[in-house]
Structure 1
Amino acid sequence: MNVRDRAPLDRKRVADAALKLLNEVGLEGLTLSAIGRELGVKAPALYWHFKDKQALLDEMATEMYRRMVAGIPLHPADTWRERLRKSAHGLRGALRDYRDGAKVFSGSRFTGVEHAERMEEDLRLLTAAGFTLPQAVRATTTTYLYTVGFVTEEQGVEPLPGERREGYDLGERARMLADFPLSAAAGAEIFADYDRHFAEGLELVIAGVAARYGVG
């Protein structure tokens, strides 16, 4: 057992170990027993820090958010459109770093208030640009929901970048749908080139926000 293994457990160390293990076993295989083995402790020791698995997922999502924020440089001169783009692309990148990252993040509750600082900045920028507060909230949450939903579907096909699940061969799909030529051809627009498709979809969301609220 090395020095790191002998270090006292805390919430961050458990969450870090869980995120590392997540890439190996996925959300379904992420048990408290497996995390305990990773840390060299019995599973009951983890209950001193987390009352159940959902509490651990909340901390994991919070740690993912901390890492995401650290990797997204914002600029005071950002337009509201640029801010939505940066936030969405940054979130997608953070979720794709982990197997089932979108599933972990979705529905989790942040365990701290770090997210409020970034939220405050974003809402201040949007309201200064002409959005009412409810409109600014709708614009940011719609972009967020689009991103989480997109990555959830994306990771159903590519659990990690460069990894592809069985059953998503486009040629085989086209052959199966030979009697439905448009549906067959649509496969490349659904199950491939995710970077381009995400960017295009995000621009549709942003354009919709601008048109709906009349903010340039």
Structure 2
Amino acid sequence: MKLDKTLIVTEALALLNQVGIDALSTRLLAERLKVQQPALYWHFKNKRALLDAMNDEMLRRGHRHRAPQAGESWQDFVRNNARSFRGALVAWRDGARVHAGTEANPDSLERFEAMLRFLVGHGMLAQNAMQLLLAVGRYTVGCVLEEQADAPEGPGRGAELDAAAQAYPLLSAAILAYRAGGHEAQFESGLALLVAGAEARLIGTSGAEKGRSAKVSEPDAEPVRQWQLPL
């Protein structure tokens, strides 16, 4: 069997599902591939490089909504993109931990530029669009991290907290709603808040631009200096 990067990553992902990220090691992977451990370092200089490649493959397989679709609103794109990203991470054991700490692959920079261009085309400032994408991405990773860190349910799990929360009616009702919704519902709730915040910011930015333009158009208005423009 010829050892190459594709085979190594494929087997590393399979091993990840079996043992989890804490137990994943180049030694175990070499045993699985029936090669000597140093053979892996011809292809990946360390475990971090291997994890980066595993992350790329997880997203390649599972992240299906990475670009805006024809006729899609920016709100729908942000939501669909986040859902697709979440799906790619939850498909693998410790998927969020594999992704955390990775950097964008240089091959994906053109796609990120297109995403920013799409959002800017809907009226966002480039830096605000970048902040939105980062916030949604990190929120998604955090949600999956919490979801995948959940301990198995057991007898009486949460009973002590529920009993103590009875003294706090608002908290008790909120906990009940939280548990009834589950991970996906909670993810959707937070995602809706992020999109709503971006909508409000966009409206505010547009209003500020209109007000600034009106002032500049007045006969006695001073010229707008470059440093006065929004960042």
TM class by shorter chain equals 0.7 to 0.9
The answer as to whether partners of 1:99 and 1:155 remain within 8 angstroms in 2 is yes
Query: CA separation in 2, counterparts of 1:52 and 1:65?
Result: 21
The answer to whether the Cα contact below 8 Å between 1:102 and 1:148 also exists between their aligned partners in 2 is yes
User: Which blocks of at least 5 consecutive residues in structure 2 are unaligned?
Assistant: 207-231
- Asked if structure 2 preserves the Cα contact closer than 8 Å seen for 1:74 and 1:83, the reply is yes
Greater mean alpha carbon deviation, residues 92-101 or residues 194-203: 194-203
Q: CA deviation at 1:103?
A: 0.5
State the SS of the aligned residue for 1:66. helix
Q: Report the aligned-residue RMSD.
A: 2.3
TM value normalised by structure 1: 0.83
Shift of 1:29: 0.9
Change (3 A) 1:79 1:85: same
For the residue of structure 1 that corresponds to 2:21, the secondary structure is helix
Q: 2:137 aligns with which of 144, 152, 174?
A: 144
1:86 aligned partner, one-letter code: N
Match runs of 1:15-30 below 5 Å: 15-30=9-24
Alpha-carbon distance between aligned partners in 1 of 2:180 and 2:143, rounded to the nearest angstrom: 11
Farther off after superposition, 71-80 or 147-156: 71-80
Residues 1:205 and 2:190 aligned together: no
* 1:189 partnered with 2:193: no
Describe how 1:1-216 pairs up with structure 2 within 5 A.
6=1, 8-70=2-64, 74-110=68-104, 112-157=105-150, 165-166=151-152, 168-169=153-154, 171-181=156-166, 182=168, 186=175, 189=178, 193-214=182-203
Q: In 1, are the aligned partners of 2:64 and 2:84 still within 8 Å (CA)?
A: no
Q: How big is the shift at 1:144?
A: 0.6
Note if contact 1:27-1:100 (Cα within 8 Å) is conserved in structure 2: yes
Partners of 2:177 and 2:156 lie apart in 1 by 10
TM-score by length of 2: 0.78
**How far off is 1:189 after superposition?**
1.0
Unmatched segments (≥5 aa) in structure 1: 1-5, 158-164
For residue 157 of structure 2, give the secondary structure of its aligned residue in structure 1: helix
Is this contact kept in 1: 2:52–2:102, CA < 8 A? yes
Q: SS state of the match for residue 164, structure 2?
A: coil
> Equivalents in 2 of 1:71, 1:88: separation in Å?
8
Shift of the 70–189 alpha-carbon distance from structure 1 to 2, 3 Å rule, reads closer
Paired letter, 2:165: F
1:78 is displaced (CA, Å) by 1.3
Give the CA deviation at 1:212.
2.2
Judged with a 3 Å threshold, the aligned counterparts in structure 2 of structure 1 residues 43 and 139 are, in CA distance, closer, same or farther, namely same
Q: Quote how far apart the aligned CAs of 1:120 are.
A: 2.1
**CA–CA distance in structure 2, aligned partners of residues 83 and 205 of structure 1:** 13
Alpha-carbon spacing, 1:31–1:119, altered in 2? closer, same or farther (3 Å): same
Give me the identity figure in percent: 36
Instruction: Work out whether residues 30 and 36 of structure 2, in 8 Å CA contact, stay in contact via their aligned partners in 1.
Output: yes
CA-CA distance at 1:77 after TM superposition: 1.6
- Secondary structure at 1:41's aligned position in 2? coil
> Residues of 2 paired with 1:47 and 1:169: CA distance?
42
Query: How many Å separate the matches in 2 of 1:68 and 1:121?
Result: 20
Q: Is the 8 A contact 2:82 2:136 kept in 1?
A: yes
Alpha-carbon separation, structure 2, partners of 1:46 and 1:99: 22
